[in-house]
């Protein structure tokens, strides 16, 4: 009896194992069939070997570098900072200071990242700076900040891999204006104040994007209401030149202080030591009239300062046109011609 039961168990076990083998065999067969089916499948993607020429450097960012400390808002030592984009290079590179716009009342060094990255990828160390603004500061303090940033880079050239003899500057709007001021006063010590005075603040090339020049004529090409607004005591150019009475300045529009307005005009300082300037302006700019860069361009031409001016069709005051490759390439080519000789 026990032998019969044992035989039955063996038979059942054998059947179970055969079933599992069949199942496993079918699974294996199915896998093989799938593999063989995909082997000659139309559109099958194969690995491709790429040969990539190395043209774009590795870019490192160094944030919040303090380039000076200045008195502001009742505090004796307020840090002015810059962010540096540094291409990896064994050789020392030319550098460009980026001066952001902000209507004379704001200076966010985070702006202009596409332009800055384009220049860094082209082989420039790019330093984006903050600077003092109205109404707590007035001219020439912001220009003194710009020049302090240039001197800082020259004094610390070894630290950042910079050739101190090849420094340029670029800015848009209020930053374009400050760029023009730095360019036209290049070769002088008029606005050098603060640290690192053992080195100069000269630049070899400058790019002014839709910047101002004659602060008394900003509204000239617009309607009467705009002209009136620009001549008011609350206009930012008035605060820029006159300051605010709350912070030690005096009231009045830009026309109330013609001497101050003239001192704040880059055209006033054009000389044979002024740096070469590229000026660009949009035909649809309704904030700063294209006539502002034309005034500066005509004065530069009169004094035989190397300069060129482009009107960008359809471009407004900032915006998408200024990040297009055609515009960025013009800027880079200009800098290359003076900083990579």
Least confident of 29-38, 223-232, 264-273, 285-294: 29-38
pLDDT digit string (tens) for 295-311?
999 999 999 999 999 99
- Statement: residue 30 has pLDDT above 90: no
Higher pLDDT, 81 or 55: 81
Percent of the chain residues past pLDDT 90, beyond the cut: 73
pLDDT digit string (tens) for 137-172?
999 999 999 999 999 999 999 999 999 999 999 999
Burial category of 81 from C-beta neighbours within 10 Å (exposed 0-12, middle 13-18, buried 19 and up): middle
- Statement: residue 20 has pLDDT above 90: no
Higher pLDDT, 15 or 161: 161
- Where helices occur in 46-140 by DSSP H, the ranges are 113-121
Mean pLDDT of 238-261: 83
Confidence of residue 246 (pLDDT cuts 50, 70, 90): low
Dihedrals phi, psi of 312, to nearest 5 degrees: -95, 115
CATH number at 59-215+271-339 = 3.40.50.1820
Structure tokens at 160: 């950042």
- What average pLDDT does the chain have? 89
pLDDT of residue 146: 99
> What CA–CA distances, in Å, run from 329 to 17, 122, 167?
74, 10, 18
Q: Name which of 125, 65, 56 is nearest 97 in CA terms.
A: 125
Least confident of 1-15, 107-121, 130-144, 170-184: 1-15
Dihedrals phi, psi of 5, to nearest 5 degrees: -65, -40
Q: What string of DSSP letters covers 163-182? A: EEEEEEEEEETHHHHHHHHH
- Statement: residue 1 has pLDDT above 60: no
Q: Name which of 267, 269, 281, 273 is nearest 314 in CA terms.
A: 281
Whole-angstrom Cα distance, residue 170 to residue 206?
Answer: 6
pLDDT digit string (tens) for 186-219?
999 999 999 999 999 999 999 999 999 999 999 8
pLDDT of residue 2: 47
pLDDT of residue 87: 98
Q: Is the peptide bond before 140 cis (omega within 30 degrees of 0)?
A: yes
Question: Domain residue spans in the chain?
Answer: 59-215+271-339
Mean pLDDT of 3-32: 47
pLDDT of residue 192: 98
Asked if 324 contacts 317 with a C-beta cutoff of 8 angstroms, the reply is: no
pLDDT of residue 233: 86
Higher pLDDT, 170 or 28: 170
Higher pLDDT, 246 or 16: 246
- Statement: residue 91 has pLDDT above 90: yes
């Amino acid at each position: 009896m026990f032998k019969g039961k044992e035989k039955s168990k063996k038979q059942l076990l054998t059947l179970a194992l055969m079933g599992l083998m069949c199942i496993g065999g079918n699974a294996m067969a199915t896998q093989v069939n799938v593999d063989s089916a995909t082997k000659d499948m139309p559109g099958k993607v194969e690995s491709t070997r790429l040969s990539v020429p190395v043209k774009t450097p590795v870019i490192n960012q160094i944030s919040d570098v303090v380039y000076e400390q200045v008195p502001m808002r009742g505090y004796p030592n307020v840090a002015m900072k810059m962010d540096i984009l540094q291409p990896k290079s064994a050789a020392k590179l030319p550098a460009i200071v980026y001066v952001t716009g902000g209507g004379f009342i704001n200076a966010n060094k985070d702006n202009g990242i596409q332009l800055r990255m384009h220049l860094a990828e082209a082989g420039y160390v790019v330093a984006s700076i903050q600077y003092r603004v109205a109404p707590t500061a007035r001219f020439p303090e912001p220009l003194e900040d710009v020049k302090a940033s240039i001197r800082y880079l020259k004094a610390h050239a070894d630290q950042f891999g910079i050739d101190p003899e090849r420094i340029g500057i670029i800015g848009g709007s209020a930053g374009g204006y400050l760029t023009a001021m730095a360019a036209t006063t290049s070769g002088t010590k008029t606005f050098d104040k603060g640290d690192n005075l053992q080195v100069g603040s000269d630049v070899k090339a400058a790019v002014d994007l839709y910047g101002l020049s004659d602060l008394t004529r900003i509204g000239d090409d617009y309607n009467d209401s705009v002209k009136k607004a620009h001549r008011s005591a609350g206009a930012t150019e008035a605060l820029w030149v006159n300051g605010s009475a709350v912070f030690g300045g005096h009231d009045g529009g830009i026309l109330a202080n013609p001497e101050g307005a003239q001192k704040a005009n880059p055209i006033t300082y054009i000389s044979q030591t002024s740096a070469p300037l590229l000026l660009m302006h949009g035909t649809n700019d309704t904030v700063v009239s294209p006539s502002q860069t034309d005034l500066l361009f005509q004065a530069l031409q009169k004094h035989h300062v190397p300069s060129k001016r482009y009107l960008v069709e359809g471009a407004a005051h900032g915006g998408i046109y200024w990040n297009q490759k055609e515009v960025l390439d013009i800027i880079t080519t200009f800098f290359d011609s003076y900083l990579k000789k």
